[in-house]
Structure 1
Amino acid sequence: MAGDIPAGTVHQLPDDLRAMLEDRPDLLPLWTALTPLGRNEFICWVEDARQIATRRRRSVRLAEELLEGRRRPCCWQGCIHRTDKAPGRWQQAVLVDKEWR
């Protein structure tokens, strides 16, 4: 079953999120129903956390947002790692100006 869980367009599914989805049969169909870009946004959002505690909170929130019917993470500027489109204004600040840190 581990190989059946789809990832995002740029990001691979990290082991901790894979384990969460395997352990929560209520989440797996919701995750699978997301578009590859939607899954990518959630993965990027979780992986962007700089602290382990933040990553854990985001993983819990990911589950909550899936159950709420959300298709993308709330309050997220979007994946800055995509190469299929030009970055938006905020993403440009992150990539070039490094204003986020």
Structure 2
Amino acid sequence: MTQQDTTSQFEEILRRPAQPDGDNLWAFVVLPEFASAKLPRRGRTSIEGSINGHAFQATLEPDGQLSHWLRLNEDLLKTAGLNFGDIARFEIRSVAAEPEPEIPTDLYHALQAAPAARAVWDDTTPLARLDWIHWVTSAKQAKTRQKRIVEACDKLSSGQRRVCCFDPSGFYSKAFCAPKAAD
């Protein structure tokens, strides 16, 4: 699929999350089915584009319905002059190359303590690393997250380069969904 094949234009209403993160102001949109279908994967995927003509780059999250949702932070909302309930114009496309994902601190420390795991980690693709990170961070409980970090290091140390049996779209496991919108 070429970069041009992934381009979509659409308008969506900016939604306020019912459960925001503390004092952080952010909005979200769920991508229309046609726009999500043009992207290269149903799991986390990075895009670039514009909102009301203002450029941005972001990582889309899977919504568990074979589509994606996009979190818009406060800075981007201010730059684009948008607020909750506004209709925004989007143009998006997948990035030419997936950027290096940010490694959560707990996973980073575990990889540093396991040189064999770190060697395999460093030899995988950014998409494979993104799936490992997504698998770890999608744990609902701290205990499960810690167990997944240990398992990830064990699997990587044994040469396993990809997360096995993990549905990054959330469709089959129903593990992921878009945020609930506030009324």
Q: Normalising by the residue count of structure 1, what TM-score does the alignment of the two structures yield?
A: 0.66
Corresponding residue number in structure 1 for 2:126: 36
Cα offset, 1:67, TM superposition? 2.0
Give the root-mean-square deviation of aligned CA atoms.
2.8
Structure with the bigger percentage of helix:
1
Corresponding residue number in structure 1 for 2:57: none
Structure with the bigger percentage of strand:
2
- Match for 1:46: what amino acid? V
Contact 1:44 1:79 in 2 (8 A): no
Contact 1:41 1:79 in 2 (8 A): no
The runs of 5 or more residues in structure 2 that have no matched partner are: 1-97, 179-183
Tell me: CA distance 1:38–1:25, structure 2 relative to 1, closer, same or farther (3 Å): same
Corresponding residue number in structure 2 for 1:73: 163
Counterpart-to-counterpart distance in 2, 1:28 and 1:44: 17
Q: Normalising by the residue count of structure 2, what TM-score does the alignment of the two structures yield?
A: 0.39
The 3-state SS of whatever aligns with 2:115 is coil
Contact 1:11 1:40 in 2 (8 A): yes
Counterpart-to-counterpart distance in 1, 2:158 and 2:137: 21
Counterpart-to-counterpart distance in 2, 1:48 and 1:92: 12
Contact 1:40 1:79 in 2 (8 A): no
Corresponding residue number in structure 1 for 2:146: 56
Check if 1:21 corresponds to 2:73: no
Q: Percentage identity across aligned positions?
A: 32
Instruction: With a CA cutoff of 8 Å and minimum separation of 6, indicate the structure with the bigger relative contact order.
Output: 2
Cα offset, 1:23, TM superposition? 1.6
1:47 aligns with one of 137, 146, 155 = 137
Q: Which has the larger radius of gyration?
A: 2
- The number of residues matched between the two structures is 82
Cα offset, 1:93, TM superposition? 8.8
